[in-house]
Structure 1
């Protein structure tokens, strides 16, 4: 019984150690109307692993928090591009 609990604890700890939330700021210069952020946010939230997306029209940028074990920055940029708004990395945060 002790081995089962130890194994379960190890699996849980290993899984959480591998998954680390990441935040990236994307520059989205092609936003040209106040409705654009809605489309971009919806596209980003559909990417598996994205937990939060904040899109600012005035600054033409998106701040995205995601699980780096489930997705990556290229997938986020692809999502904005497929929605009609190409993006680039403006800043990575820990």
Structure 2
């Protein structure tokens, strides 16, 4: 099955400074994966970041940062 996108997928890197242990990235990744429109989410404890590939027609960066905040991890898009 092929996924069809109306627009080009976008990638954003979120800074997630509240990740304090090796299990935090799992929680962050799972929260991001639940957002409709997220294609791929990776999180990294060492850099305290999450990299998200998403469909901009289905979601936006504010929904991603809301998802991490709701999971207990404030985040913001890296400029």
Q: State how many pairs are aligned.
A: 76
Cross-structure match for 2:46: 58
Instruction: Show the 5 A alignment for 1:1-94.
Output: 16=5, 18-91=6-79
* Cα RMSD for the two superposed structures: 1.3
Query: Which is higher, the Rg of structure 1 or of structure 2?
Result: 1
As a proportion of its length, which structure holds more helix?
1
TM-score (norm 1): 0.77
Superposition deviation, residue 21 in structure 1:
0.2
Report runs of 4+ in structure 1 exceeding 6 Å deviation. Answer: none
Structure 2, gaps ≥5 residues long = none
TM-score (norm 2): 0.91
